[in-house]
A and B are shown apart, each in its own frame.
Chain A
């Protein structure tokens, strides 16, 4: 996404780097926190909890003790930056909180569009001149977006034949067969050099879209491209999306049309989504639903690891001489296992450890670029408490919560969380869908923040150094 091929991008990077330096000198830092996560990783809930707890901490509530310690007790106030002339929707933290606190409660629906919010953290200065210079501020930029779109990031560096070959190879793996059969049968039966007949394209696209949806919703796969086919956003489906991978050697009108749409799609995603929001950021939280991947089976687990590695490969962490020259680069990356309240306290370390193995490739890449990384287990909204269940006459550590569907209290034994990617025998227990729990009792106004597990430690690791 960078390089000498894009001199204007470099100039913008240089201007951005200079602005950062200037802001830092006058004590008005600005930090873009990229929250990246695959679909259903819990980005929206994470952002809601982060904002509610930070705003409460700004009012003096002790919602984020580890962050408070990192700030040395110098956090004076936190307030949302008033809306300006942004063309993007504003992240509606109040509406999300109200839905979580409502009776019956509702978790945020699937994110369909981008939304942003900025917070200003006002802090006392640490220096000798603190009394003279007044407070300093750190502005935190946050963005919410559909997780599916993130998987388009690896497409930016692929042409249509390359993308087709990689995608079909992935979709032909045994784990995908149940959802992919019809589409693979269709593309394999296409004669080489077939014309771009509209009804044929429509049928192929419909089969591909249904196959991707099946992979996501029934099989728990995440590495599915293009992202907008699964989540087209507020504009709905446009002809730009009507393409699908073709076997190697495909030529003729259909292959030409597919390649043209692929190129236009990639360009549009680059221009509208990645360039403005993912080219430059300073901190990154990578959210992963490790437990969901573990319970969805080996193929889905491996697929999640592959998707995360591909995204990290396409992101720009800095460390190159051009980044050094323009002053652009990522400072800290935190890998986060979400929904940690779905396992008892004694298993959360195992969850972190397993995540560490799952994101080994991205973490290596970030560390190689000089970025500080850390691994965390987190529950943005804590919905359970630890309990003991008796299984086969034996007491085991479990969690207890109230089920969202029935409103009844239930204990969940989440199985044994392995410390490292499990042996093949582990997967014998089959698949399990973790039930959804009701959020705990919450203040509708969010005045005291939201109960969480580990959010304060995560924020201290991500932004503690600038406070």
Chain B
């Protein structure tokens, strides 16, 4: 049932629409059970003629005292319905990669198992040694994968916290921010206050100082990265190397900022974070283009252009690094920005 569905008596049977002269035509109040006690509402003005019987009416229908207010069970009617999860469909490439992974992983596991059995056939010492090597390798592989999954999950936790703030779900927002506060040094002392927060707005206000502190530290990291990339751009011999250094420094900066916010992204987590950061960065790319165009228009003098070209490129790289620090910090905030 949707919120605007009629829960009234539409569709009831057994009554007619009033017709012709027999039908009551104007509005009225009709005292049904105690006619003398319930006069119709006074007409607006004495000079108006009284409504003839048959007009609109109000019918008081309970002898008893005040009636409770109507209750449409609105809160139940509008409860959010979970959107159906989009079904996951395997694309052709997905199936091919899955097949390759299965072949590679499965055959390798089978090979390893067979090899261990063979080694035991050669002798107990060789067998145990081989088993130890295989087990160690698998354990390292598993722990690496586990760290990746945890890194990704920590980024999902940011999404969950933001969603809780957006919905106004205090309990969920508290739980998520408590988990976050436990992992961030600046926010650790806030935990008792977070537990006592009475509203979403209050919770947001409590987190603001710690978040501002984190943002200041992210800005410092950004400045350091900016100085480094400026210096490298100024001395590097080729633009290709510039781009490489910028990319490497950018990824490192995003990971540093994430670590500030209590996230320990692995490779997959870093990629997810970079994707999210780049969403914001793409928005500002248009601004960069405009700024570059304006700079070129101003520096149309050839000599000036030569002179300013290199330094300008370095300055643009540095500015981008500062902006990257800011958008990375925004991407990691547990509280939705703005």
Contacts and interface: CB of A to CB of B under 8 A. Distances in A.
Contact of A429 (B8, B25, B70): B25
Interface in B30-85: 30, 41-45, 47-62, 65-72, 74-75, 77-81, 83
Interface stretch (A10-18, A304-312, A320-328, A396-404): A396-404
Contacts, number: 245
Contacts of B2: 62, 65
A85 interface: no
A408 B66 contact: yes
Nearest to B14: A395
Contacts of A397: 9, 12, 15, 17
A29 to B, nearest CB: 16
A295 interface: yes
A64 interface: yes
B56 A413 contact: yes
A370 interface: no
Contacts of A389: 30, 57, 59
A408 B3 contact: no
A428 B53 CA distance: 11
B41 A435 contact: yes
B60 A432 contact: no
A413 B40 CA distance: 13
Q: Is the interface of B mostly helix, strand, loop or mixed?
A: loop
Interface string B267-298: 00000000100111011001000000000000
B75 A132 contact: no
B117 interface: no
Contacts of B336: 77
B168 interface: yes
Contact of A430 (B22, B49, B279): B49
A218 to B, nearest CB: 5
B195 to A, nearest CB: 22
Contacts of A64: 3
Contacts of B160: none
A220 B43 CA distance: 12
Contacts of A414: 27, 56
Contacts of A318: none
A406 B55 contact: no
Contacts of A260: none
27 contacts: A26-B283, A65-B2, A77-B336, A133-B282, A178-B45, A344-B10, A385-B72, A388-B9, A394-B23, A395-B14, A402-B68, A403-B60, A406-B60, A407-B65, A408-B65, A409-B60, A409-B61, A409-B62, A410-B60, A412-B56, A413-B24, A414-B27, A415-B25, A415-B26, A429-B52, A430-B26, A432-B28
Interface of B: 2-4, 6-10, 12, 14-18, 22-30, 41-45, 47-62, 65-72, 74-75, 77-81, 83, 166-168, 275, 278-280, 282-283, 286, 336
